[in-house]
Amino acid sequence: MVSLVLGAKKRKLTKNVTERQTAPLPCFLSREQLESMSDFDYADQDVSVGPPMPPSSRMTLEDTAQKVKRLQAEGNTLAEAGRFRAAIERWQQGLEYDPTNGILFELIAQACMETHDYFQGIQAATRATELRPTWSDGFATLAHCQFNYGELELAHASLSQALALEKVLTVAAALRAELDDMTALVDAHRRDLAAAAQIHFDDADAAQVHDCKTNLSRRSIAWTTSAVHGDLPPS
């Protein structure tokens, strides 16, 4: 059986605080500040700087862009520290200001893979590909989420699209090798399903159990997980 390792791409993206800070935060939180806050403190932290803006005030495009950039950078810092849920929270806050930011959706999808929330990762990565249909990274991340969720055929299609869009030769070569391994898995899976379909049972109950297992096998994939989830054995 061909083994395939798929995981979240690594991007260059603790002491707990017992008392919540009351002083106004600077425009950019430092790495020390981010790492000293608990996830609950961080999720509850008001991202606004200074007093709230009056309803009549409106942020300029430049203000919005800077705020989104800051939230993205803070999310990257949290992800580098392994605090993926807090990072997702920050990126989601960025999407409140810029809901068409495909990069933030793709980052959320990567973090969802790290937390094993593959279905949520598929949703975020799908949105990233909708917003940036010519971006190879979005389709590659979608393929990884689909693969880990058990959608082998869909993952193969997404990875093929990522390869077709990739312009960097070294990255394209890595995608090609990954796609070749996945193609071998797809072919083996199809052969297994075809062989299972040929089995005949005289007993109706046995046939029903077999059909159930066959349908479940359409969602099962054999892949090596040691590089991604060392606590899980290979299928």
**Residue ranges per domain, the chain?**
31-50+60-217
The pLDDT of residue 59 is 65
Rounded to whole angstroms, the Cα distance separating 94 from 81 reads 19
pLDDT in tens, the chain (235 residues): 444 445 544 444 433 333 334 344 344 455 665 655 555 454 445 444 444 554 434 667 778 899 999 999 999 999 999 999 999 999 999 999 999 999 999 999 999 999 999 999 999 999 999 999 999 999 999 999 999 999 999 999 999 999 999 999 999 999 999 999 999 998 887 887 777 766 666 666 655 665 665 555 544 443 433 333 344 433 3
pLDDT of res. 33: 58
Exposed/middle/buried for residue 76 (C-beta within 10 Å: 0-12, 13-18, 19+): middle
Q: Are 105 and 128 in contact (CB under 8 A)?
A: yes
pLDDT at 35: 59
Q: What pLDDT, on a 0 to 100 scale, did the predictor assign at position 24?
A: 40
CATH number of 31-50+60-217: 1.25.40.10
Tell the burial category of 25 from Cβ atoms under 10 Å away from its Cβ (0-12, 13-18, 19+).
middle
Angle, CA 183 vertex, CA 139 and CA 191 arms, to 5°: 135
Rounded to two decimals, the pTM is 0.64
